[in-house]
Amino acid sequence: MNRFRPLLVLLLAFGAWGRLEAGSTAADPKDKQRILYYTCTMHPSVRSPSPGKCPICGMDLVPVRASGSLPEKPAETTTPGAPSRTEQIPPAPSIPSTSPFFVPPERLQAIGIRTGVVERRHLVRELRAPAIVAVDESKEVDINVKAGDGYVVKLYADYLWKEVRKGEKLATILSENWVQAQMDYIRAYRAWRRSLLVQKANPILLDQQFEHIRNRIRVWDLTDAQIRELESYAWSMSTNDVRTGKGLRGTFDLLSPISGHVHEKNVVEGMRFSAGQTLFRLINLSRVWVLAQFPEDQAPFISEGQPCEVTLPALPGERFPSRIDFVQPHFTETVRRLQARVILSNPGHKLRPGMYADVAARLDYGVQLAVRSDAVIPTGRRFVVFVDHGGGHLEPRFVRLGEKLDDDYPVLAGLEEGERVVTGANFLIDAESRVQGALQIWSGEQPSEGGVVPGKAVPSSPPPAGHNHHHGMPGMPGM
């Protein structure tokens, strides 16, 4: 036995050394990176001891490593300058728990993720609407003969959209009441002029009586120049001519009261018309309307007096700054759009009715802490982002966000300035986190206090309780 004792001591020494070596190997951080099994990011129920293809969808199986259940505070080992986990706003009690997870850097590179920094940015809301140029209805003039029936003897404005000048002849009118109207006015005018020469005691009353007669002749839509011409002729007539009506014309010229275009023409030469019937409708194009159709989700942000800018495809490079002049009080039900009106001056008639246009307005929300919209994954009632702590250490985090403003969300809670978040391949990262059991989301969860649903509230205001917008397809990762 004595000769075997040295051999026994040697064997015990080797055994003790082996146990120490095994302990040091178990404590080796590399052992924590060993592959447990392979699974599919879309079908986590699939598990395989070796790499291959998913039998359900055919995707490449990805490794699940022992680091999936690593420490809950990887922020303590983050890269310099990254905020620690203790600096974050604690989630509300109703928010599901999350835990960090690890994805090898080479896999992140293969996935093609991109990252961005949470920072303060100048946020604006862009409001855009298609529009069309229309005539200014306040510049339309109806041309008719109010005092009696008649005939169109000669037509000068003989086609649509003909340009006419103020005072230009539109037509020559023959009316059976026109001669009698002239005689009544001539007699009244001559009597008024004689009374001024006699200088009776009450000239004011005479002036009022004559003004009444002058207003009656204005019903024929005569211009001041036409009335002065008639008065000049009346004073030069003899008493016998006044009694017989000698020299009075049975026709008169219908003159244009504005410069513009013939927008509507309802007469032909020689036709008979009735008193008050519309003969022409003229439009002045020195000013036009631009009618914009804003979608329903932009309607709460449209108001009268709001600055805007008009552009037209037919006039590339030209911009027309203006303001919203009028907002329609109700929606156009068939298209669910709200019409707003912009008024533009139109020198040279560059803007033609019927042209297509675009109207853009901007709402300024100032400088706020914001995160890019492509970094946010909607989960139904909440939003989640993946914070990148560097070296493959990622952390899913629920956040409170304001109303989406173009490509940004204002951050209300859950993120700090300077943190880096994943902005590309988010859904693949979400699938990876689910495989590793890092993110638990239940379909029956209730919205956290102050949660915001996109499209229903202004940036700093939470929506009414019970509002729920679901994004994406149910059953897909991150939805």
Give 352-386 pLDDT, tens digit per residue. Answer: 999 999 999 988 888 988 888 888 888 777 888 88
Two structure tokens written together for 329: 């009080």
Residue 131, Ramachandran bin (φ over 0: left; ψ between -120 and 50: alpha; else beta): beta
Residue 439 and residue 100 in contact, taking contact as beta carbons nearer than 8 Å: no
Residue 318 and residue 312 in contact, taking contact as beta carbons nearer than 8 Å: yes
pLDDT of 409 over the 70 cut = yes
Query: Which of 35-44, 59-68, 121-130 has the least mean pLDDT?
Result: 59-68
What pLDDT, on the 0 to 100 scale, is given for residue 200?
59
- Could you tell me the pLDDT band of residue 36, with boundaries at 50, 70 and 90? confident
363 or 17, greater pLDDT: 363
Distances (CA, A) of 152 to 149, 279, 358: 10, 10, 44
The dihedral over CA atoms of 304, 309, 311, 315, expressed in degrees to the nearest 10, equals 120
Tokens 């005018």 belong to residue: 189
Give 203-230 pLDDT, tens digit per residue. Answer: 677 777 778 878 888 888 888 888 888 8
Tokens 């007699």 belong to residue: 187
- Mean pLDDT across the stretch 90-116? 70
Give 129-151 pLDDT, tens digit per residue. Answer: 999 999 999 999 999 998 889 99
What pLDDT, on the 0 to 100 scale, is given for residue 203?
67
- Mean pLDDT across the stretch 173-190? 85
> Of 114-123, 129-138, 405-414, which has the strongest mean pLDDT?
129-138
% of residues, the chain, pLDDT over 70: 73
147 CB-near residues (< 8 Å, 6+ apart): 175, 177, 178, 181, 219, 220, 275
Counts for the chain of helices (H) and strands (E), in that order: 7, 24
CA 60 to chain centre: 43
What pLDDT, on the 0 to 100 scale, is given for residue 354?
93
Tokens 């064997």 belong to residue: 11
Query: Which of 11-25, 27-41, 92-106, 243-257 has the least mean pLDDT?
Result: 11-25
pLDDT of 159 over the 80 cut = yes
Distances (CA, A) of 454 to 405, 409, 446, 459: 10, 9, 16, 9
- The answer to pTM > 0.95 is no
What pLDDT, on the 0 to 100 scale, is given for residue 352?
93
Query: Which of 95-109, 205-219, 399-413 has the least mean pLDDT?
Result: 95-109
> Of 62-66, 100-104, 231-235, 320-324, which has the strongest mean pLDDT?
320-324
